[in-house]
Structure 1
Amino acid sequence: MNIKDIDSHCHDRSAGLLTLTLDEYRGYESAPGQKLVVGLHPWDTLECDMYEAFDILSDAITDPNVVAIGEIGIDPLHGASVERQEQLLRYQLQVAADARMPVVFHIVRRYDILLKLHAEFRPVSASAVHGFRAKPEVAAQLADAGIYMSIGPKFNAETVKMIPRELLLLETDELPESEIRNVIAAVADVRGMRQGALADLARENLRRFLNSGAKSV
């Protein structure tokens, strides 16, 4: 089974598609062929210098290796107040809209804010929620909004069964990219699919997600 170009969200520095915080991105040199997802993580909102952060983000979106903005979002358990996080998220969504770049969200509990802002900004490029583990009812709301859901090593099986085929992504998150094989096996079992068929589906969905923006990947 070919596992290349499937992992939609990975912090393993050897990953083909690598997610970095703004601090990690500063001074980072991409490996040949490596693509990056860069953004102000909600955990970093408490102590960040907003002007410095958005200077880095402004530089990042001009980098041909940066293909999406993320992970950005709302996490009431970490970082600044929810109100402050929403303010910073709005700014990043405007940057993404202006640059026509897809967005990867980190959302804990506050899917109401995500859906509100998604409806407000009506992005031309695609959006995805990484590490999605919410209930089926939330998945139905995201599906109605056309938001991709990325499934990692930990997931809600009932939710995974009902995610529309065209909105399903797979990820390893903090694990080595090679662990995507185990994610494929687990999700394929829950959805009653062949592993190879799921791998092909996830690869095509990720390609479509990344190519929804102004940059061809």
Structure 2
Amino acid sequence: MLFDAHCHLDFAAFDADREAVLARAQAVGVRRFMVPATTRARWPAVSALAARDDVVIGLGLHPYFVATHRDEDLDALGEALAQRREVVAVGECGIDARFAETLPRQWQLFEAQLQLAKHYRLPLVIHCVHANDQVAKRLRQLALPAGGLIHAFSGSPQQAHRFVDLGYHLGLGGAATHTRAQRLQRAIASLPDDAFVLETDSPDMPPAGRQGQRNEPANLTEVLTRVAALRRCPEAEVAAQAYANTCRLFACA
């Protein structure tokens, strides 16, 4: 049994066949899905998915879409977190240092969402690209009560253990399946059993051999196979560990 800890099932890429995508995932053992929002405009679609018994959601403001976010969106986020019991996390939020020109605004939005996570005692879903050290430093300073997920982790073993020591889980996805990702693969092999979850980031970040294709939750089995091989553990054992970790992280039975 598998839990896709990060997939964007609300995206337009799934509008034509969303139910079929979910059915394919269920057929290969992916039983639950965590869907984080990226912009305020996506919150209604994400919230609609929460009506399903197999979906949990997060609400947040993604750094990639920084140009679309307004200060009033932060006020609306606080109100939504206070009112919507189905929300299990703040995010997707974070820092993407590929876009240096927007970093000051990214940090402003991220800081506000960190404070919301602290206030509501919710875990974070963090997008962190080329900023592992800076983000870890800020998380250490805040000591947030519910930790969170470092989504699509791709750093070094040292960076991985820094996040783990702070109480965060690492999201392992399609990047783990690529032969060039040797630093990441060393990190995966070194993680404690209770420190990782499995994710697809659908429709993005497909596994090796599927570049250019739409990713979907059914491909989580390929991530599982690679992670189990790297950790030298049976797939069933890794699947059970990741499922339990995801349920614990998002406080969902």
Q: Secondary structure, in 3 states, of the residue corresponding to 1:107?
A: strand
The answer to whether the Cα contact below 8 Å between 1:160 and 1:187 also exists between their aligned partners in 2 is yes
Instruction: Indicate whether 1:77 and 2:95 are aligned.
Output: no
Aligned pair count? 209
The alpha carbon displacement at 1:135 in A equals 1.4
The 1-side partners of 2:219 and 2:4 are apart by 9
How far apart are the structure 2 equivalents of 1:177 and 1:79? 31
- Residue 59, structure 1, aligned to residue 59, structure 2: no
In structure 2, stretches of 5+ residues that fail to align are 11-21, 23-31, 177-183, 203-214
CA 1:139–1:104: 2 relative to 1, 3 Å: same
RCO (CA 8 Å, sep 6+): is it higher in 1 or 2? 1
Q: Does the 8 Å contact 2:133/2:159 carry over to 1?
A: no
Q: Name the CA shift for 1:183/1:108 in 2 (closer, same or farther; >3 Å).
A: same
Report whether the alignment pairs 1:183 with 2:223.
Answer: yes
1:139 to partner: Cα distance: 1.1
User: What is the identity, as a one-letter code, of the residue corresponding to 1:170?
Assistant: L
Aligned residue for 1:133, secondary structure, equals: coil
**Is the aligned partner of 1:141 residue 2:159?**
no
Distance in 1 between the 2:223 and 2:169 partners? 17
Shift in Å at residue 80 of structure 1? 5.5
RMSD over aligned Cα atoms? 1.8
TM-score (norm 2): 0.77
The question of 1:113 aligning with 2:131 is answered no
Q: How big is the shift at 1:141?
A: 1.5
Provide the residue aligned with 2:28 in structure 1. none
Shift of 1:48: 1.9
Q: Structure 1 residues 107, 99: closer, same or farther in 2, change over 3 A?
A: same
Identity %: 27
Q: State the Cα distance separating 1:19 from its structure 2 match.
A: 1.8
Q: Is the 8 A contact 1:18 1:37 kept in 2?
A: yes
What is the correspondence of 1:1-217 to structure 2 with a 5 Å cutoff?
A: 2-3=1-2, 6-13=3-10, 14=22, 16-21=33-38, 22-26=40-44, 28-30=47-49, 31-33=51-53, 34-51=55-72, 53-61=73-81, 62-78=83-99, 81-155=102-176, 156-174=184-202, 175-211=215-251, 217=253
CA–CA separation in structure 1 for the residues paired with 2:220 and 2:143: 31
* Cα distance in 1 between the residues matched to 2:101 and 2:60: 16
